[in-house]
Structure 1
Amino acid sequence: MKLNIKDKFTTQLPADSNLENTRRQVTEACFSYVTPKQTSNPQLLHVSPEMLDKLGLTQADAKSEEFLKVMTGNKVLENTTPYAMCYGGHQFGNWAGQLGDGRAINLFEVEHENKSWVVQLKGAGETPYSRSGDGLAVLRSSIREYLCSEAMHYLGVPTTRALSLALSGDKVLRDVMYDGHPDFEKGAIVSRVSPSFLRFGSYEIFASRQDHKTLKILMDFTINQHFPHLGKPSKETYLQFFAEVTQRTLDMIIHWQRVGFVHGVLNTDNMSILGLTIDYGPYGWLEGFDFGWTPNTTDRQHKRYRYGNQPNMGLWNLYQLANTLFPLIEDAKAIETILEKYTTDFESESLKMMRSKLGLKTENASDHLLMQDLEDVLQVTETDMTIFFRNLGNFKKDEASEGLTIINEAFYVPTELLDTILQQWNAWFDRYAERLQSESIPDSERKSQMNAVNPKYVLRNYMSQLAIDKADEGDYTGIDELFQLLKQPYEDQPKHQKWFAKRPEWARHKVGSSMLSCSS
């Protein structure tokens, strides 16, 4: 297994001088050296062929004993120094202090075809940042992370990636719903890959400690390695950096809203500085279209991270990053202008995104009303978001009366469609048909364009849970079935038609299918 190792993070940034793997506060350092934990009986369950290729590896490499050992933490490659990153974060709106990589260990950086990738293990043992945790991960959460990382990529959503999924061979004790009923589960390790795992909290930790020296070192490294097009680090460059991070964050969340993805834990330590979706925990896709839905049981009461609030949370987190970078920029007005632009840009980009979902190529002053009315009627009765938008592509502008028939499959409880609701739907379809009359493209072309932005298949929680239930019994075929399905989320895939369906009733309140915790 030959890799072009080019470590920059550990060679250019200050390291923790304490080499003991003990829980502690780490100061004036961006990372701590740490060795992954040896496992008893590692077993490789799945590998992403595309990520193998991006790292310069082959299928033969993936079948080697060395690959298995390295990607489960049982071997450290020569001339590499695994490490855990130091960072802090705001969790549910409150400053939580030092957090860091409590269950993640970065192995090395690989350069291939002019791109740089950090390879990281999640669930490979404790680090100085593990606090009271064991640094391990279980199979159910590892399957969800592995599948979702790659599914999001193929949906066109900016994301970190996944290379491999493996069993550790060890049992891990977890309290799934934090209700005082812990049990042993299969341990697992996911190999995650990204150009960088830096997050907002990586910078916040130093600002919170008034350690502006280390903050500047990390900022300059970030710009030189990941934003070189901005030029040499300076106050103006820092400002441009913040503007680009703001834009990338906006773009990412627009994509989330487009496909109905809800992250579940938008704390600042889960916000990538590169605008990538990072840290897949209690995430989910909308079943019924609902701005108030959150998949996270911890967030069930206040719903801070609900679907409709994700744009606001992106902005809130950017404000925390702005406060962090202010000592380096020292221009409050310029920072405020960037943050204000996020709000106005989000409105225009959201409108643009919704136009694409409705197959509208031209702009009309009344479009926002058309979309507002649609969002209102979608929530009057439980209506599946994915099925609704996908089937809407079959609508013909000269057949408005067929609208309800076309989307009927999306309704969870058709008997709730009382006369007033039917009238509301029919009135909307009449307006939609009238609006389409001003579009010059034929229905067939509009359908193709809509199908390119409205996925047919998304990783619904019940789908993951079915694969997890199989895996718990030693059958890992469900993982590959979903992996292959989700590589083509916009294609019809007749052989996989069973997955183009509403959430089954049995999954409505099942743990893992509707209720998810941060337990992993």
Structure 2
Amino acid sequence: MSPHPAPLFAASQVACSFARLPAAFYAALPPRPLDQPRLLHANPQAAALLGLSAADLDSADFLELCAGHARLPGVTPLATVYSGHQFGVWAGQLGDGRAHLLGDVRGPGGTFEIQLKGSGRTPYSRMGDGWAVLRSSVREYLASQAMAGLGIPTTQAMALVGSQDPVMRETLETAAVVTRLAPSFVRFGHFQHWARSPDMQAILLDYVVAHWFPDCFQGTAAQPDRPATACRLLAEVCRRTARLMAQWQLAGFCHGVMNTDNMSILGLTLDYGPYGFMDAFQANHVCNHTDTLGRYAWNAQPAVAQWNLTRLAESLLCLGCAPADLEAALAGFESEFLRAYHQGLAHKFGFTDWRPEDAALGDDWWALLHAQRADFTLAFRYLSQADRDPARWLGLFADPAAARAWLTRYQARLAQAARPAPQRRAAMDRVNPLYVLRNHLAQRAIQAAQQGDATEIARLMALLQDPCTPQPGGDPYAQPPAADAAAVVVSCSS
């Protein structure tokens, strides 16, 4: 079946700004459609950004677009090329090996690129088949909603489409496609790809700055100052990335594969593979079974982000940027990370402000959780009520005496602020989630979806949209896995 336009959007809403770049930036080609696709779930919140209604999501046109059978009017889908470091090693040319950019759509929420992930081979697939399996697609679909619900910048998933197309991974599985949205999918790796091509790097810089960072532009239209513009862009990307890292740390989120090609130039969480929200806290927790050296452990994530930003800075040298100016732009990462981290931790602790002396209390908090292997999410959540129900919070710790000693210090700090307890409890419960996407919950949804049942996906999506508010029937979803439950192992194939 040849692709045809899907009449979901007016032609005036649709474009593809990336396609206006020189042809070396991408390969124009259609997705490989899924055979007998089935819409497993659609995300009304994401779809509303594009102005789509509930009726649109139920239409055959929507399914055909998200399954790769249709295209946006007047736009040829494409896959973009980029390069990058993977696990700290230069991997050379990479690119969208299993993703197709359908184009840009302007809607009530702004302009978003629509991308299909798992939509077939491209010239950048290397040895891959271009498919995504249902297992990994369910994980990405749910994770993007989990992060959005927590207020953490992320790409958003609009639809999950399954099929009976066979795909071989460790075992025989079935293919699926996630339709995801972002203002841009440009990565650090796009800039790395042109690190030795000043003219092409300048084109990419101009494109990114004009569309998403106009305040970074320096010079005049007739005589742009690209070195100064690049340094300002780098400084802003550093700030956004630093804030993102603070949010990841405070949510107990581990990305699992923080390669430079998985880092968004907009500061979004990008590419959900072997991620995990921690259950029992371990500061050096590694969620990716493939990461045998622990490069992407939870406590390493901010430093890895800083390393990745340095690789981005190196790619800008070809524009004539002075090394000292790039170093100055990079220097803002640590202060911005600490500012966002301290502010976020103060909110989670119920403090009205962060004081320098709070650092010791915060450090001892992580040491306590690590030594006791306490549940990350519930340790924060139950803390809001620890003054009137200490037993519930203390019950999370193997050694209640050590926890009680920390709690005494914490309560003394609360007393200094003289904040009314009901106000503090409410404020803490607004920022400390009850529901996160624990691996065992995602696995349960995957297993049901593999049997054709999307009920668990729908239930989790509803809970994760409002993760801080208790919901009827939600108690089982707020608990860690049973002590005797088999661990869910995720790897780069996830």
What range is the shorter-chain TM-score in?
A: over 0.9
Matches within 5 A, 1:116-135: 116-135=111-130
1:453 shift after superposition? 1.6
Structure 1 residue 8 and structure 2 residue 3: aligned? no
SS at match of 2:70: coil
Q: Which residue of structure 1 aligns with residue 3 of structure 2?
A: none
Distance in 2 separating the partners of 1:7 and 1:349: 34
* Partner residue, 1:229: 215
Contact 2:103 2:113 (C-alpha < 8 Å) held by counterparts? yes
Residue 471 of structure 1 corresponds to 449
Range 315-324 or range 221-230, more displaced: 221-230
The structure 1 residue matched to 2:25, chosen from 15, 26, 30, is 30
Classify the secondary structure of the residue corresponding to 1:495: coil
SS of residue paired to 2:164: strand
Deviation at 1:114, TM superposition (A): 7.0
Matched, 1:426 2:404: yes
Secondary structure at the counterpart of residue 295 of structure 1: coil
Q: Deviations over 1:279-305 (max 9, x none)?
A: 000000011111111110111x31110
- 2:159 matched residue in structure 1: 164
Deviations 1:436-462 (A, max 9, x none): 110121111111111122111100000
Within the candidate set 234, 238, 251, 1:259 is matched to 251
How many residues of Structure 1 are paired with residues of Structure 2 in the alignment? 479
- How far off its partner does 1:191 sit? 0.3
Q: Which runs of 5+ in 1 are unaligned?
A: 16-28, 176-182
Contact 1:72 1:168 survives alignment (8 Å): no
2:137·2:160 contact (CA, 8 Å) conserved in 1?
A: yes
Give the residue type in structure 1 aligned to 2:482.
P
Cα displacement (A) at 1:329 = 4.7
Equivalent position of 1:19 in the other structure: none
Q: Distance in 1 between matches of 2:421 and 2:294?
A: 39
1:65-76 → structure 2 map (5 Å cutoff) = 65-76=60-71
- Structure 2 CA distance for aligned equivalents of residues 277 and 462 of structure 1: 21
Mapping for residues 30-429 of structure 1, pairs under 5 Å: 30-113=25-108, 115-175=110-170, 183-207=171-195, 210-231=196-217, 233-234=224-225, 235-299=227-291, 301-396=292-387, 403=390, 405-411=391-397, 414=398, 417=399, 422-429=400-407
Q: CA–CA distance in 2 between the matches of 1:384 and 1:64?
A: 42
- Equivalents in 1 of 2:485, 2:189: separation in Å? 35
Paired residue secondary structure (1:371): helix
Q: Which runs of 4+ in 1 moved over 6 A?
A: none
Q: Which moved more, 1:198-207 or 1:430-439?
A: 430-439
Contact 1:383 1:410 in 2 (8 A): yes
Aligned-residue offset at 1:425: 2.0
Residue 22 of structure 2 aligns with an amino acid whose one-letter code is: P
Provide the residue aligned with 2:492 in structure 1.
518
Structure 2 equivalent of residue 25 of structure 1: none
For 2:485 and 2:269, the matched residues in 1 are separated by 26
Match of 1:480 in 2: 458
Q: Secondary structure at the match of 2:101?
A: strand
The alignment's TM-score, normalised by the length of structure 1, stands at 0.89
Q: Cα RMSD (Å) of the superposition?
A: 1.5
Contact 1:108 1:120 in 2 (8 A): yes
Which is worse superposed, 264-273 or 362-371?
362-371
Identity, in percent, stands at 40
Task: Report if aligned partners of 1:199, 1:269 keep a CA contact under 8 Å in 2.
Answer: yes
Matched position secondary structure for 2:234? helix
Q: Greater CA deviation, 344-353 or 124-133?
A: 344-353
CA distance in 1: counterparts of 2:312 and 2:217, whole angstroms: 21
Selected match of 2:473 from 495, 499, 519: 495
* 1:365 Cα deviation after fit: 3.2
The Cα shift of 1:333 comes to: 1.7
| Partners of 1:379 and 1:153 in 2: CA distance | 27
Q: 1:507–1:284: structure 2 CA closer, same or farther, 3 Å change rule?
A: farther
Q: Deviations over 1:120-152 (max 9, x none)?
A: 101111000001111001111101101111121
Partners of 1:65 and 1:345 lie apart in 2 by: 47
Q: CA deviation at 1:7?
A: 1.7
1:218 aligned partner, one-letter code: L
How far, CA to CA, are the matches of 1:58 and 1:143 in structure 2? Answer: 23
Letter of the 2:312 counterpart: L
Q: Distance in 1 between matches of 2:217 and 2:87?
A: 35
Change (3 A) 1:113 1:470: closer
Deviation of 1:409 after TM superposition, in Å, equals 4.2
Q: Secondary structure at the match of 2:286?
A: coil
Q: Does the CA-based 8 Å contact 2:96-2:125 persist in structure 1? A: yes
Q: 1:505 aligns with which of 480, 483, 490?
A: 483
Distance 2:376 2:98 in 1: 34
Q: CA deviation at 1:364?
A: 3.0
Report the 3-state secondary structure (helix = DSSP H, G, I; strand = E; otherwise coil) of the residue aligned with 1:452: helix
Of 365-374 and 331-340, more deviation after overlay is shown by: 331-340
